[in-house]
Amino acid sequence: MTEAIETHLPEISQPFSWATRTAGVIYTAHGPVRLDGSIETGAIEDQAHLTFRNLELTLNGAGASLRDVAQVLIYLVDVTDVGAVDKIYRQYFQKPYPNRSTVIVNALVVSGMKIEIVAYAADSKILVA
């Protein structure tokens, strides 16, 4: 059975949960969404920090941490942002890094949004039991 995880992120109009858990895995997706529900559309550095902080907040709400992340999929609209995102990524993740893929796309759901991520993490709540 799939359970939605309380993230303390804002309610949104789209039909999805910020994070769910099932079968020992936490599934979550994030973008540069502020706690008031607005979207950060400024510099990629600001967007990336906010996106990874949202991931960390979500994992903490699930009783997990960034160390539990096994895979990250990063979607960027500009290939020249990869270096900046890599630098910020290293501030949130340590070796051994999660498996990762970076994909360059034409656009994301909100104009000016430059990054979106999908992450899969081990559900330590299940692993401890």
Q: How do residues 72-103 score in pLDDT, each as one tens digit?
A: 999 999 999 999 999 999 999 999 999 999 99
Instruction: Provide the CB-side half-sphere exposure for 104 (13 A, CA).
Output: 6
pTM exceeding the 0.85 threshold for the entire prediction:
yes
Tokens standing for residue 93: 């993740």
Instruction: Compute and round to an integer the Cα radius of gyration of the chain.
Output: 14
Counting the structural domains of the chain, the total is 1
Range of the domain at 43: 3-128
The torsion defined by the Cα of 48, 52, 54 and 56, in degrees rounded to 10, comes to -170
| CATH number for the domain harbouring residue 17 | 3.30.1330.40
* pLDDT value, residue 125: 66
Beta bridge partners of 99: 71
